[in-house]
Every structure is written in structure tokens, then in C-alpha cells.
A and B are shown apart, each in its own frame.
Chain A
Amino acid sequence: AQKITQTQPGMFVQEKEAVTLDCTYDTSDPSYGLFWYKQPSSGEMIFLIYQGSYDQQNATEGRYSLNFQKARKSANLVISASQLGDSAMYFCAMREVDRGQFYFGTGTSLTVIP
């Protein structure tokens, strides 16, 4: 079974609008971390935001917020006020603390339209 599922291969959003990138995960470990990374065309992976499985509040980092719904095992990334520079691939990832494994989703390509 897929550990991380990103069902949106491509997304478009108008500049200055908000966009939600979906991510669901599968784990039986009680302790895990959820991450979002951005990969622009240059190839580097940029760490955006992190959510721990025991964190009570949703993580926020500037224009990025993580909509964490533990019971549904979803960790959607919300980007507010989209900018042209946000156009990139976005990867959701999970690390299971007990196993120490790090899993990546297949990614979502976001295009911001002026």
C-alpha cells in the first residue's frame, strides 16, 4: 500500500488566490512526522512545513499552513495568496519515528497563473 498519496498530479491557481494541495498517508506508527517540500525547476528540494503526529495545532509557516486531520490521515498543504514564484512541484512526505523510514508522495505540479 502507498504510504503517501497525492492525488493531484497537476493544479492551477490564479495569482493571489489560495490553493490546497492534498496529501493522505498510511501508517500504524503512533509517532510520525509529516513534511511538505517544494521543488522548483532548478531541482533543489526546499523544506516548507512540518507537522508532528502529536501536535495539537495545525502548523503554519508564513503563507503555508498544514491542514492536519489525524482521524482522516490527511495533511493538506494550503498556500495563501499564491505568487508566481510558487509554481513548482510539491511533495508530501512522512517519517515514521519507530521505523525511521522517510516516504515521499508522487508530487503535485502547481502552476500559478498571472
Chain B
Amino acid sequence: GAVVSQHPSWVICKSGTSVKIECRSLDFQATTMFWYRQFPKQSLMLMATSNEGSKATYEQGVEKDKFLINHASLTLSTLTVTSAHPEDSSFYICSARGDRVYGEQYFGPGTRLTVT
């Protein structure tokens, strides 16, 4: 299957600082990438859909000024958590859409963010 990488795999930062998470599709071009957030023992919550070369589409309730998404190339999307607070601590997962007509998603390994 397709490979999607995420970096870093875990990060600890201080409250008020910004953190950037990278998502790369390693062996295919992904025009669309997704960013999810997952709380312990819960399902994935879609935060935004990232399209290469255009602005991301955010889900209702997700602050676009706080979670900045940039999809600058067909293999790279970044999520920047600005002015992080402890409540932003979570597991963030990106995915890239495959090329089948029904668009299966291949997921990165996730990034565990802890804000102290």
C-alpha cells in the first residue's frame, strides 16, 4: 500500500509556542490530504481537508487561525498549531487520498502533541 510519513512522531512544547507537523506522501502524489485529531479511546475527528495549491477547508468548530494548514506540493502538507494551549494536546493524524475512484485514505503514523 501507499506510504505516508508524519514528522515529528511526538512533540512536547510549552504553552504559547507554535508547533509544525509535516505530512508527506512518499510514493504517490496526493492532491488531497486530511488532518484528523483523535482523543484517547475515541474515533478520529476530521479537522480539515487540504488541497494542493488552494486554501484548506475546515470543519465546523475548527479554528482556522489556530490550526494553519499549508499544502504547498503534491507530496507535502503541514499543520501548524499556533499559540498552543494544554487543551490542544492530542494525537494528530494526517492522511492522503489514494487514486482509486472511491478514494481510499492512507494514514500517517500520527503525531502525539503534549502542551505543558
Contacts and interface: CB of A to CB of B under 8 A. Distances in A.
Interface of A: 31-33, 35, 37, 42-47, 50, 52, 91, 93, 95, 97, 100, 102, 104-107
24 contacts: A33-B100, A33-B102, A33-B104, A35-B104, A37-B107, A42-B109, A43-B109, A44-B107, A44-B108, A44-B110, A45-B44, A45-B93, A45-B95, A46-B107, A47-B104, A47-B105, A47-B107, A91-B44, A95-B104, A97-B102, A97-B103, A100-B103, A104-B43, A106-B43
Contacts, number: 58
A95 B44 CA distance: 14
B112 interface: yes
For the complex of A and B, the 3 pairs showing the least CB-CB separation, nearest first, are A33-B102, A45-B107, A44-B109
**Which bucket holds chain B's interface residue count?**
20 to 34
A37 B105 CA distance: 10
B42 interface: yes
Given A44-B108, A45-B95, 19 more contacts: A31-B102, A33-B102, A43-B38, A44-B110, A45-B44, A45-B93, A45-B110, A46-B107, A47-B104, A50-B100, A52-B101, A93-B105, A95-B103, A97-B101, A97-B103, A102-B103, A102-B105, A105-B43, A107-B43
Contact of B34 (A44, A47, A52, A102): A102
Nearest to A55: B102
A11 to B, nearest CB: 15
